[in-house]
């Protein structure tokens, strides 16, 4: 699976701890991240991470483009809800795209852990079904 890892500045160290704790699970997947977050993850875990621009310089939009092309399977976006973000419209757009394309999205550590444990247990296998079909969002 393709997994995006994004963290606001005050959440980057938490992201590194999360990826370190779940390294064995994440090592089985293709990782993508915004600039500095990806660098910190690579340095701490030695995992390969495709790095985009930093969030304020378009990294959120680059990940959003992957979502809109159905080229991502899971997003972990550790947001800082107490700090104003200069690129808040990009953040909102990324969250909206995750909803539109039925991409599992965690915005805090608790949900991220549940998603990663679910990933290891095969609970995200529905994404493989989507990849085998017509690549459009599910509608019920």
Binding residues for substrate: 8, 12, 34-37, 54-55, 87
Per the annotation, the verdict on 90 as an active-site residue is: no
Binding-site residue set: 8, 12, 34-37, 54-55, 87
Our CA angle for 119, 80, 3, nearest 5°, is: 25
* Catalytic residue selected from 9, 60, 73, 90: 60
**76-115 b/e with 16+ CB inside 10 Å = b?**
bbbbeeeeebebeebbebbbebbeebbbbbbbeeeebeeb
Residues annotated as part of the active site: 60
């Amino acid at each position: 699976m393709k997994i995006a890892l994004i963290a606001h500045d005050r959440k980057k160290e938490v992201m590194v701890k999360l990826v370190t704790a779940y390294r064995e699970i994440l090592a089985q997947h293709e990782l993508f991240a915004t600039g500095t977050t990806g660098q910190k993850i690579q340095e701490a875990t030695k995992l390969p991470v495709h790095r985009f621009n930093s969030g304020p310089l378009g990294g959120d939009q680059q990940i959003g483009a992957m979502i809109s092309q159905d080229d991502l399977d899971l997003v972990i976006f550790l947001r800082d809800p107490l700090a104003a973000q200069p690129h808040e419209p990009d953040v909102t757009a990324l969250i909206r795209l995750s909803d539109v394309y039925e991409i599992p999205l965690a915005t805090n550590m608790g949900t991220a852990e549940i998603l990663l444990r679910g990933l290891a247990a095969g609970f995200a296998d529905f994404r493989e079904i989507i990849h085998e079909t017509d690549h459009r969002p599910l509608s019920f």
